[in-house]
């Protein structure tokens, strides 16, 4: 069993790490404080080819594997989760359904814009009555004169309110017992982008509700086969959990980085606090858990690239890393003491950003259900 990354994967990791340190880190605190979307950073990521990294070069993507993509997300989240989720949601949730289930015409039309980062795409699944119970979709779409007429609402949608949003793929009930996915371009009449949420964390990420009222799109905007939407979004969520696991892993590593650096500099009782066993125990435990979580996350990515069933490992990785991110951020704040509660220290932002990783892309309880079913329980 070889645990070494390939030269290409190491090169992508170095590229993402250098970018995160040199471009994201100096801006992260200000973006968070001002709750400002990182347009300049997204543009630079696009120039580096990192907005469509796991998709084929024929569509303008990077042609890289899933593990390389996970490495990029990990390195971005190590510095700032708002930037990381912007890339992850666009890539795993927005672009994935079009690439995996879209027609050739849809791929040719949309993927070059999305893989280049010139446009961002969103995925509209969650509704007021359809969160963990994702199949309880109330948004409807009916055929009328060659158009789908959409009525309903979505919530907690990422990237849809940005100036570079291209549109959203929504799940809608197209019959009494069928769910389908439909592409809704930005600017379509009846497609309303509501005000953004006031959030605990991910303040530089765009998150908001959407509404649809007599919203008409061509019948050809159906993604894949009618009535296969439930299966499609389950597969999309499976793939997306790898990137969210990479986010949890990166945040935990970033929290450890900050805690270790601070513990070496902070003196108490005549010596650096890193020499106290109580602090060493925290650092050692988090470091060990991060390494275990990293192996689990990378395993899920490798299984996906090998064409194997990765649902179990992706759910396990997402469950593990989300909880680890919360614990690592909390311990980093504790090691910082009072300073950990002050916004000028990154661990304060990490602490606020961490909690959503146990909720978004399937709550911990949903992951436990997925895991238990995979085990045959």
**Interval 342-376: pLDDT, tens:** 999 999 999 999 999 999 999 999 999 999 999 99
Is the sign of the CA dihedral 147, 153, 158, 160 positive or negative?
positive
Task: Give the number of other Cβ atoms within 10 Å of residue 63's Cβ.
Answer: 16
User: To 5 degrees, how large is the angle CA 203–CA 209–CA 211?
Assistant: 160
Dihedral through CA 289, CA 317, CA 301, CA 282, nearest 10?
A: -20
Does residue 1 surpass a pLDDT of 90?
no
* Domain assignment of residue 1, yes or no: no
pLDDT computed for residue 270 by the predictor: 96
Q: What is the mean pLDDT of residues 317-328?
A: 98
Same-domain check for residues 291 and 334: yes
Same-domain check for residues 146 and 158: yes
Does residue 55 surpass a pLDDT of 80?
yes
Phi and psi at 255, nearest 5°, equal -65, -40
d(CA 238, CA 369): 13
* Domain assignment of residue 362, yes or no: yes
Same-domain check for residues 39 and 153: no
Domain that holds residue 133: 120-226
Does residue 134 surpass a pLDDT of 80?
no
pLDDT computed for residue 2 by the predictor: 85
**Which stretches does DSSP call E strand in the chain?**
120-124, 140-144, 147-158, 165-175, 178-185, 191-193, 207-218, 222-223, 267-268, 271-272
Same-domain check for residues 37 and 106: yes
* Domain assignment of residue 153, yes or no: yes
| Maximum distance among all Cα pairs of the chain, rounded to whole angstroms | 79
pLDDT computed for residue 28 by the predictor: 98
Q: Write the pLDDT tens digit of every residue in 191-211.
A: 999 999 999 999 999 999 999
Is 361 catalytic? The answer is: yes
Q: Write the pLDDT tens digit of every residue in 271-302.
A: 999 999 999 999 999 999 999 999 999 999 99
CATH number at residue 69: 1.10.540.10
pLDDT computed for residue 73 by the predictor: 98
Same-domain check for residues 222 and 255: no
- Residues with Cβ within 8 Å of 270's Cβ and at least 6 positions away in sequence, in order, are none
Catalytic residue among 178, 303, 361, 365: 361
């Amino acid at each position: 069993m070889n645990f070494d990354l390939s030269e290409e994967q190491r090169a992508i990791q170095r590229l993402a790490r250098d970018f995160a340190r040199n471009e994201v880190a100096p801006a992260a605190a200000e973006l968070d404080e001002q709750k400002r979307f990182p347009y300049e950073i997204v543009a630079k990521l696009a120039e580096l080819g990192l907005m469509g990294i796991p998709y084929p070069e024929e569509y303008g993507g990077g042609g890289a594997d899933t593990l390389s993509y996970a490495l990029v997300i990990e390195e971005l989240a190590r510095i700032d989760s708002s930037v990381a989720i912007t890339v992850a949601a666009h890539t795993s949730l927005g672009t994935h359904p079009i690439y995996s289930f879209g027609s050739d015409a849809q791929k040719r039309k949309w993927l070059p814009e999305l893989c280049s980062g010139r446009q961002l795409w969103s995925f509209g699944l969650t509704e007021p009555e359809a969160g963990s119970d994702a199949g309880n979709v109330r948004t409807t779409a009916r055929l009328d004169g060659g158009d789908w007429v959409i009525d309903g609402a979505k919530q907690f949608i990422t990237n849809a309110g940005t100036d570079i949003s291209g549109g959203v793929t929504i799940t809608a009930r197209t019959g009494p017992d069928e769910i389908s996915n439909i592409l809704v371009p930005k600017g379509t009449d009846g497609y309303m982008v509501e005000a953004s949420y006031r959030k605990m964390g991910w303040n530089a990420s765009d998150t908001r509700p959407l509404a649809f009222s007599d919203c008409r799109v061509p019948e050809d905007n159906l993604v894949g086969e009618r009535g296969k939407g439930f299966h499609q979004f389950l597969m999309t969520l499976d793939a997306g959990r790898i990137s969210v696991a990479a986010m949890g892993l990166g945040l935990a590593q970033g929290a450890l980085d900050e805690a270790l650096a601070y513990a070496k500099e902070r003196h108490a009782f005549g010596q650096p606090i890193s020499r106290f066993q109580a602090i060493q125990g925290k650092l050692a435990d988090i470091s060990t858990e991060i390494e275990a979580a990293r192996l689990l996350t990378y395993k899920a990515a490798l299984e996906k690239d090998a064409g194997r069933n990765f649902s179990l490992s992706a759910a396990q990785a997402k469950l593990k890393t989300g909880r680890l991110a919360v614990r690592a951020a909390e311990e980093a704040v504790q090691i910082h003491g009072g300073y950990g509660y002050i916004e000028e220290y990154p661990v304060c932002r990490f602490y606020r950003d961490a909690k959503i990783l146990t909720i978004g892309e399937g709550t911990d309880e949903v992951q436990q259900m997925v895991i238990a079913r995979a085990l045959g329980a």
